Chain A
Amino acid sequence: MIVFLQSLMSGVLIGGVYALIGIGLTIIFGVMRVINFAHGDILMIGMYLTYFLFSVFGIDPFLSVAICIPVMFAFGALTQKFFINRMLGALPQNQILLTIGLGLIMSNTIMLLFTSDYKILTTSYSSGSVDLAGISVSQPLAISFFITAAITAALYWFLMKTDIGQAIRATAQDREAAQLMGINVRWTSILAFGIGSALAGTAGALISPTYYIFPQVGSAFTLKAFVITVLGGMGSIVGATLGGIIIGVTESMSAVYISSGWKEVVVYVLFLLVLLFKPSGLMGTSRM
């Protein structure tokens, strides 16, 4: 029973961070219908930014989120403006390849700058935990879970209540109609990619106190982000949040009750089942 509750707890907590990665991807996909293969690499840049701020200026990884969000937003927006916006409406496979190429550029530039050494961030709370009725709760994961929740709530409010948010949602629902209604689609695309990148970068910052950093770290997260996004329904924020937590718990549970070696297979099988039987995803009916 303790083992069950323990894995449930760590699954939910790690799922929170997964959710943030998934939300970023879902916004980008929702608005642009581009599968962003560079998503994990953007997350990786967020990690290096956090590492840089921590090791040079001694800024705590959780505080550096405040710097990470604007910097990564600008990074994503510029990438969109100079590269991906040129490809809107191009063949989908070319858009995929463009993001693959951009991802390669990102990870290898970082490699030249920081070498390919594994970097690890050690804070006073890196292996700290709180005992909760016999279950240990990782301190850094718990903090990042709350930050994730706060960011998700703020984002939801932004998309629902503000004019810009509504423009983004409108573009996601129907690009042409939105254009006809006078929404500048190129601008909303830049915004969407900026927000998506900021979220991925933030996820990178949040995960860095408990994980390690190297230039090729992104690809594993890219795949995870795809799974989460599809599971929740492409373009749905609530869905991506749920999807992230489901994936976290599934991984955690299958490591205990099946085996660590098969846990990712379980995740991909779940992914295929959702694609086949509910291709619109868990929350597929609602768009954002």
Chain B
Amino acid sequence: MRVTLSATARRGASPLGLGLFAAAVVVLLLFPQFVKSPYALHMMVLFFLSVIMGESWNILGGYAGQYSVGHSAYFGVGAYTTMILMTAKGIPPWFGVWVGVVVVVGVALIIGSICFRLRGPYFVLASIAVAEIMRLSAFNLKELTNGAEGILAVSVPPLTIGGTVITDFLSKVPFYYFGLGLALLTIAVTWVVEHSKLGYFFQAIREDQDAAHSLGISLTLYKNIALVISAILTSLAGSYYAVYVGFVDPNTVLPLDLSVQIVLISIIGGIGTLFGPVVGALVLVPLSEALRSNLITQAFFSMGLVSQDSKVGIFLQENLAHAHVLIYGILVVIVILFMPEGVLGFVTRLVQKITRRDA
């Protein structure tokens, strides 16, 4: 009984799950038809961005067990390549993105050849060091990256196919669909990896490198495959971010903070699972926005829990926004200590407990 349960859980293809997923996709596809608010669309764009970053890290970190804390490197390479080509050479981003992918494959293979000689904590530190080298180089290679001043794109050229304008990128709607498309692509790639031989090799490496090696699985080859897939998807996220925001500089697309944030999405959601990063993004994106914009305090006021003019109310209004990183930190600690399998694992287990009790 247990075996079949875990098998379906791993395959993640139960009819109910599939139905839910399909329904969610349909809702998301129709979303911009009903919701016109640019603010809501912007939040969705940030959500998709988090999903793409989380899912791509998950392939390397979650499935193959290589905990890179340097994924900002790939994000930054994608973002910079697309922006440089767009602003300096006038190459539209839908071509630039693919150049970014080619560059990032090269970068990933170089980084892989250095970092995969190392294991465990040493691998983590090496991945940080490489990303930091990239960040500092972006500051210093002024001819290429414009240094600390960053690269600014005034407008995005319209997307045309055979002379007809498909979209001009003036509203958020095209960005929304690009984001949704990329997010679905990364989920699809993850699903394919999970259900192919590749996925089994990755998991074998994660569980026990030496055992996997003695079974004849080439560690270098498969680790690099995982890295390249992960890096390509992360660079797509970077390009997407760059075109959307229209500005890149070393401290926004290559910082250590970003690498940590990418890891957190997966870990908080549930590492090594298909929908873990989606859940992670679902938790983190609204939470940080609510804290940042003081929505939580407003909610307290409107629910009548705290009066706006009371001392507590004033204190909350003054401090809760300041404290949003603090609350973020507390959340991380709580998840790590009490939900080691992430929010998704925690919820799944809770549901199982309840259904078992019912049975």
Residues of A within 8 A of B (CB): 29, 33, 35, 83, 86-87, 90-94, 96-98, 100-105, 107-109, 111-112, 219, 223, 226-227, 230, 234, 259, 261-262, 264-265, 268-269, 271-272, 275-276, 279
Contact = CB atoms under 8 A, between A and B. Distances in A.
A103 B256 CA distance: 14
In this complex, which of B121, B319, B325 has the most chain A Cβ atoms within 10 angstroms of its Cβ?
Answer: B121
A26 B216 CA distance: 36
B122 interface: yes
A233 B337 CA distance: 30
Q: Is the interface of A mostly helix, strand, loop or mixed?
A: helix
Nearest to A219: B256
Contacts of A109: 326
Nearest to B327: A108
Contacts of B44: none
B271 interface: yes
B328 interface: yes
B333 A98 contact: yes
B278 interface: no
A35 B124 contact: yes
Interface of B: 61, 67, 69, 114, 117-118, 120-122, 124-126, 128-130, 132-133, 136-137, 139-140, 256, 260, 263-264, 267, 271, 319, 322-323, 325-326, 328-333, 336-337, 340
Contact of B263 (A35, A97, A105, A269): A97
Contacts of B124: 35, 92, 96
B122 A275 contact: yes
Given A91-B340, A98-B336, A102-B333, 14 more contacts: A35-B121, A87-B336, A101-B330, A104-B328, A105-B329, A105-B333, A108-B326, A111-B322, A230-B122, A259-B140, A268-B132, A272-B114, A275-B117, A279-B122
A93 B263 contact: yes
Contacts of B328: 104
Contact of A98 (B120, B139, B337): B337
Contact of A264 (B126, B136, B325): B136
A112 B117 CA distance: 43
A97 B336 contact: yes
Q: Is the interface of B mostly helix, strand, loop or mixed?
A: helix
A271 B129 contact: yes
A100 B330 CA distance: 10
Nearest to B340: A94
A279 B337 CA distance: 31
Contacts of A223: 128, 132, 256
Given A83-B337, A101-B330, A112-B322, A272 B256 contact: no
Given A35-B125, A264-B136, A272-B114, A112 B326 contact: yes
Given A98-B333, A101-B332, A226-B128, A93 B140 contact: no
B328 to A, nearest CB: 6
A103 B264 contact: no
B133 A269 contact: yes
A98 B256 CA distance: 16
B264 A97 contact: yes
B326 A105 contact: yes
B347 to A, nearest CB: 18
Contacts of B333: 83, 98, 101-102, 105
B332 A276 contact: no
Contacts of B132: 223, 264, 268
A97 B120 contact: no
A230 B61 CA distance: 22
A96 B256 contact: no
B329 A103 contact: yes
Pairs A-B, 5 closest by C-beta atoms: A104-B329, A101-B332, A108-B326, A101-B333, A105-B329
